[in-house]
Structure formats: structure tokens, C-alpha cells
Chains A and B, each alone.
Chain A
Amino acid sequence: MSDYNQQMIEQFRGNFLKEVESNVEEGEWVKMCMQCGVCSGSCPFGPHWAHPPQEIFMMIREGEREQVLTSDSMWMCTSCYNCIVRCPRGLPITHIMHGLATYAKRLGLAPKEQPTAKFAQLFWDNLTKTGRVNELKLGLALYFMNGFSEGIKTSLKMKDIGLGMWKTKRLNPMEMVGGHSCKDTKGLQAILAKAQEIEDAKIGRSGA
């Protein structure tokens, strides 16, 4: 991973804007920002962003690669799409934030222990295994993602919810074994593998 990071640093010779344009989902939009700040003001998690979107765009233009990619700001995106609908320049900000987050993760620069980063990975693994999300496994995995003792605490904290959900048949312990799934999981996984391969090739991550 980190040699991938090195590889990218060399390839783009410190031109971070160009790197973002070619490697980050919807990255070619970054240059269109006119620094009005409406995105930053529209974010429901706003106060939790060390660097709000419009500032991140400016940092990208100023080449502050390290600060941007190691920041946990992008991970604060709740995908509410407020920024997108209000942006006077039509930047797909939500997707750019997702893209930056993903890219940072691939480069191995995403902050360790970033809960959303972990959850996102769990979610992905969970869904790709069977093609459908298994909420119970996902839930438990989530609670235990910070180690066993942490997990016990969280599960206890969450047990009432679990109970409520179970009582109302909106959660089923039997899910632990079997549970929902696509039939053609092989096919699905083949598709995902292929897609990943194409994408990796595109962003110079072949073999990585």
C-alpha cells in the first residue's frame, strides 16, 4: 500500500491537484470550486470537520497532500447531499468526499481507528460475501471492531435496541447461521473482482 503511495508521489511530482483529478472519484471537479463555502455551511456534521469541503478543495490546489489525505474530515460525510444541491458550481461534493476517503484508505493514509472507515469496510465485506447485508453480523462485527472488551461494552449498550428489534421481528438471531443471500454469489464476486481490476489499472494500482 505505502509503496503505492510512494509511487503516486513520484508519478505526480507534488502536483496534488492533478493526482486528485486522475485518481479520485469526480476529482476533476475540484478545480471548479469558487470558494463560496456553501458546502461547508450546509453539512449536518459541519462542526466535526477539521477541514470542511471547500477548504479541502483549496488545500488540494495548494498541494497540501499529506494534510488532506490523513485528515478524517472526509469520513464525516453522512451522504445527505445538502452540499451537492446547494453548490453554485455543481460540484458533486458528496462523491468527491467519498472518493478522497477511499483514495486515502488505499494509499494507507486514512487515519487508523477511524470508525466510519472501519464500518465502511465491514459493510463492504459483509455485503460482498453474500451479496446482501446481514445486519446482525454487521452490527456485532461493528461492536467488536475495536477489540473484544470494547465490543462487550458496546453490545451491552446496544442490547436494548437489539432486544426491541428482535421483539418486533426486525432482527433475527437465526441470521447468525445462513441468513439472506444472493443465489449467484460467484457471479457477483466475479463482477466485483473484474470491476476492481479495471479500476486499479486506471489509477495505477495494478497488482497493488
Chain B
Amino acid sequence: MAKKSYSFYPGCSSQKAASASNYLTSVQSMCDVLDVELNEIPDWNCCSASIGYAGGGELPRLALSARNMALSEQAHPGQDIVATCAACWLATKETQERLHADEELMKETNEALAAAGLQVKADQKVRHMVEVLIEDFGYEELGKPVKKPLEGIKIAGYVGCQTNRPFGIAGESFENPKYLDKLVETLGAEPCENYEKKVQCCGGALAFSEPEKSQELIKGIIESAYDNGAELIVTPCPVCQMNVEVYQDQINAKYGTKFKMPVVYYSTLMSVAYGKSLKEAGLDGQVIRAKQLEEIAKK
């Protein structure tokens, strides 16, 4: 297969030594194998996620994503913009949609961008890495490079919110998307098909400001994973990964549960299955270590 090139928007959490740096590591390893070239958008900025709203109003928020698109258009014309973070993807795609739906808004946005000598057409396709994998490769292709099938591991596919709604992955339903399960199968592991909480919200950004309320949700997400016999949770979203992984001790303390459920990225699974090392797969980034995967990676 020929090399595929994309205009890449890593997002804040993927930066070095940030909460999802291990995500980026595993994505890069995965992309090496799949011969995907990720061209980082030069000088990209934060998308303001879905929490910046109360600080910046509507237009400033849109302007942030617009700037990223503008830079991408300059640097990587004709390439699709690919984000690995759900929030980044959503914010950018939403901005694109709004700008095209509303000429006025497009005008005002460009007026704002002009302040830094930029202008935006917002005509590059904005995609999530998962879309790229499913649409540009497909499960069969993704299965080919598997060197170490993840045999015997039962994995709950936790899709979460923003990779799923409002856009989601083409052909998948909002209530019961199946692509993570299919991916897990492709890699030789066993999916938990009846995992009820696969699209349950984890509290998102409110995990910071409303920890109790959010952790109540997170508890449900992990509990149901255990109920379905899962040994691992896999997710496509850095916010989900962080929220579901790092608060388990606090939840155990509060609810007397004994959670110790590793939460990894699809890219981690793939890197391991593709025979990458523990480090390359970002497994060293697990706060709760994914022992089975480490075993396989070490083999």
C-alpha cells in the first residue's frame, strides 16, 4: 500500500509529558506500521475543547479552530486534517460545519483571522484517526500486519461521547457503535458485545469541576466492564482514557470498590498486536498497568 499523508492536529493533551502523551506515542508506532505520514499542523493552537465556552464567546471559540484550519490549508493543502483527540476533532469539524452553514459567520471569522494575516476556506476534510483507519484501510487491511494476536484478552470497547456524537463514525449508531468491538476482534482479542456503557458519558471536562458527579458516572462505566467480564477497557478518546483510568483509586476509596481496570487506546492495542515494544506502544504510560498487553509486548 502506498504511503498515506494527512495534516495532523495532535492537540494539547498529546503533547510531550501531557496527559495523553502515550496516546501520541502509540499512534506514531501504529502509523509507522500502516505507512501513514502525519504532518503536524505548524503552530497549531488549542481548540478550547468543550469547556472554553464560558471564557470565550462563540466567535472567539470558532476563531481558534478556524486558525488551525487556516494554518493547515497553508502548510498541507489538499490533505485531510486528522485529529486523534475527540474534542479537537469535534471542535474543528463543528467549526467547519458552522462556517459553511452561515456566510455571516464565515465573514466575521475571516475578519478576525485577518488580524494575524490569516484567512480560512475550511474546505479540508476534518477526520478522526479512527475514521482514517476504518475508511481508508478497513478491518481486513488493519488485520494484515498483526504479528501478535491479542489472544485470550476480553476487552470492553468504550466509545464515549464525542467520537460518537453528534458526528460519529459513518455507518455506526449513536447508541450502539460496534467499531471498537470489530477492531478488537481484528486484533485477535475478544470484545464484550453487550457492554451497555459503551457510550455513557464520563463527565468529560466536568471531571475536574464536578468530580463527585463525574466519578459516579465513571464508576458505572468500569462496573459494567467488569460485569461483562472485561480485563481491559479500550477507548479512542484521551479525555475518556484519563477520566476512566486515573480516578479509580478515589472511586475505590469512596465506594469501597476494588477497581483496577487498565484503560488503553485502540492505538496501544494495535501497536502491541503489530509487534511494537512496550515503550513504543505507550504501555509505560499506563497509570494502571495493562499486564496482559505487556506480556504480549515482551514476547
Direct interface between A and B, CB < 8 A: yes
A residues lining the B interface (CB < 8 Å): 25, 44-45, 48, 76, 78-82, 84-85, 94, 98-99, 101-102, 105-106, 110, 115-121, 123-125, 127-128, 131-133, 135, 139, 142, 157, 160-161, 164-165, 167-172, 174-175, 180, 182-184, 186-188, 190-196, 198-200
Contact, CB under 8 Å: B56 / A124: yes
Q: Interface majority SS on A: helix, strand, loop or mixed? A: helix
Q: Determine the distance from Cα of A190 to Cα of B203 in the docked complex, in whole angstroms.
A: 33
Q: Check B48–A80 contact: CB distance below 8 A.
A: no
Indicate which residue in A182, A187, A193 contacts B117 across the interface (CB closer than 8 Å). A187
The A-contacting residues of B in range 4-30, CB under 8 angstroms, are 12-13, 15-22
How far, in whole Å, are A182 and B155 apart by their CA atoms in the complex?
A: 38
B115 and A191 contacting across the interface, CB-CB below 8 Å: yes
Q: Which residues of A contact B19 (CB under 8 A)?
A: 135, 165, 170-171
A-B contact count (CB 8 A): 219
Q: Interface-forming stretch among B105-113, B145-153, B261-269?
A: B105-113
Contact A133 B12 (CB under 8 A): yes
Given A123-B49, A125-B55, A191-B112: A81 and B165 within 8 A (CB)? yes
Asked if B67 is at the interface (CB within 8 A of a chain A CB), the reply is yes
Of the residues B12, B17, B60, B114, contact of A172 by C-beta under 8 Å: B17
A169 contacts which chain B residues (CB < 8 A)?
A: 17, 21-22, 284-285
Q: Tell me how far the C-beta of B243 lies from the nearest C-beta in chain A, rounded to whole angstroms.
A: 11
Interface residues on chain B, size class: 35 or more
Chain A residues with CB under 8 Å of B201's CB are 44-45, 78, 80, 82
Which B residues, 229 to 276, have Cβ-Cβ distances below 8 Å to chain A? 246-247, 249-250
B6 CB to nearest A CB, Å = 21
Known: A127-B48, A184-B43. A80 touches B63 (CB 8 A): no
Query: Known interface pairs A81-B166, A165-B246, A165-B287. Does A196 touch B18 (Cβ–Cβ under 8 Å)?
Result: no
**6 A-B Cβ contacts within 8 A?**
A78-B214, A119-B51, A168-B22, A182-B45, A188-B67, A200-B57
Task: Report how far A106 CA is from B60 CA in the complex, Å.
Answer: 14
Which stretch (B32-40, B124-132, B180-188, B204-212) binds chain A?
A: B204-212
Since A94-B50, A127-B12 are in contact, a sample of 12 more A-B pairs with Cβ atoms closer than 8 Å, ordered by chain A residue number, is A82-B161, A102-B57, A116-B205, A116-B206, A119-B208, A119-B209, A120-B54, A121-B55, A131-B46, A157-B250, A169-B17, A171-B19
